[in-house]
Copies of this chain bind each other. A is one copy, B any other.
Amino acid sequence: MPIVTVKLLEGRTDEQKKALVEKVTEAVVETVNAKREAVTIVIEEMSKNHYASGGVRAIDKN
């Protein structure tokens, strides 16, 4: 039943995403006593022109 959403800047490889999903699922199962098959993970990629911190987008930083 846990639903995990991970927002990331684009640019990760497929292998990194696969590992992310495995390790985060593991972390959730271990700590909150959820069944593995009940854990859902969604990755949402952000492009550099759509993510900002401090008022400056990633694409506008040097």
Contacts and interface: CB of A to CB of B under 8 A. Distances in A.
Interface of A: 1-9, 12, 14, 16-28, 30-34, 36-46, 49-58, 60
Contacts of A12: 32-33
Contacts of A53: 1, 37, 39-41
6 contacts: A3-B6, A4-B5, A17-B50, A20-B31, A20-B32, A42-B52
Nearest to A51: B42
Nearest to A33: B16
Contact of A18 (B20, B25, B57): B57
B55 A17 contact: no
A46 B40 CA distance: 12
